[in-house]
Amino acid sequence: MWKIIFLLFSSFITLSYETPDQPELTFESLYKYGKRSYTDKEWHDCVGFMLRAIEDYHYYREETFWCREKCEKQVNESPAEILALPDHSFVKMGIAFGTAQKALCLLRCRIDKFTEQRPPMSNYDVYEEFQDRKPYHYLQFCYWKLGDLKNAVKSAFTFLIARPGDVDTIANLDFYREQKAFDYSFMIDALQMEYEVRFLK
């Protein structure tokens, strides 16, 4: 069953962070499917779901940041003319109104960006796992099981950037380095910006 679902998703995996064609499939649900595939040893499905989850996470984060910046510019929560009022009760009311206006701006922007079909985030712990690059912890093992040493190393190294003291990942990289096909060029941070790569070169 998971292979059939994976085939449906694989056509949507791209290198850029675009508006998803299926907004109801969020990085939360895709991550859950990916972990289930990992447990069931469905390695192709694991890779497909994890990559799609990572893509949607970056899309969600970038669009959310864009909305915040937009509303920061459009709405002044505490304008000078309100703060200058002698009556503190009016000052509090003015600030509360500004805060409400900003919240409304964010809500409208998110609906415009994500549409009403996208369910709200239900588990913030999942968001934190993506911030900690946890999906790459699963990806490196799934890639290894598929015989893809290059991407296994790349995924393990990407996770290690966020968790430099992770004993298991260090041990895995030591193991990968012992393989005949290993090359140090595989050790790339998948989340490193293109301009950073050019600068380092």
Beta carbons within 10 angstroms of residue 43's beta carbon: 18
Residue 167 pLDDT level (bands cut at 50, 70, 90):
very high
| Amino acid 6: pLDDT | 42
For residue 91, what pLDDT is reported? 59
Of 95-99, 156-160, 164-168, minimum mean pLDDT range:
95-99
**CA neighbor of 98 nearest in space, from 71, 75, 80, 81:** 75
Question: Mean pLDDT highest for which of 3-7, 62-66, 76-80?
Answer: 62-66
| 105-109: long-range contacts, CB 8 A cutoff, minimum separation 24 | 105/67, 105/70, 105/71, 105/74, 105/75, 106/67, 106/68, 106/71, 109/66, 109/67, 109/70, 109/71
Read off the pLDDT band of 80 (50, 70, 90). low
Cα distance between residue 50 and residue 59, in whole Å: 14
Instruction: Say which residues have a Cβ less than 8 Å from residue 22's Cβ, sequence separation at least 6.
Output: 12
| H helices, E strands: number in the chain | 10, 0
Q: Tell me 185's DSSP state.
A: G
Mean pLDDT (the chain) is 82
CA dihedral 37→31→183→194, nearest 10 degrees, is 150
Assess whether pLDDT exceeds 50 at residue 133: yes
Q: Which residue has the higher pLDDT, 161 or 110?
A: 161
Q: What is the DSSP string of 4-31?
A: HHHHHHHTT--SS----SSTTS-HHHHH
pTM of the model: 0.75
Looking at the predicted structure, is the pLDDT value of residue 83 above 60? Answer: no
Amino acid residing at 139: L
For residues 46-55, average pLDDT:
96
pLDDT at position 15 is 38
Q: Work out the pLDDT band at 2, boundaries 50, 70, 90.
A: very low
Specify the higher pLDDT residue, 110 or 186. Answer: 186
Q: How far is the C-alpha of 55 from the C-alpha of 50, rounded, in Å?
A: 9
Q: State the DSSP code for 110.
A: H
How crowded is residue 12: how many other Cβ atoms within 10 Å of its Cβ? 16
Q: What distance in Å separates the CA atoms of residue 126 and residue 118, rounded to the nearest whole number?
A: 16
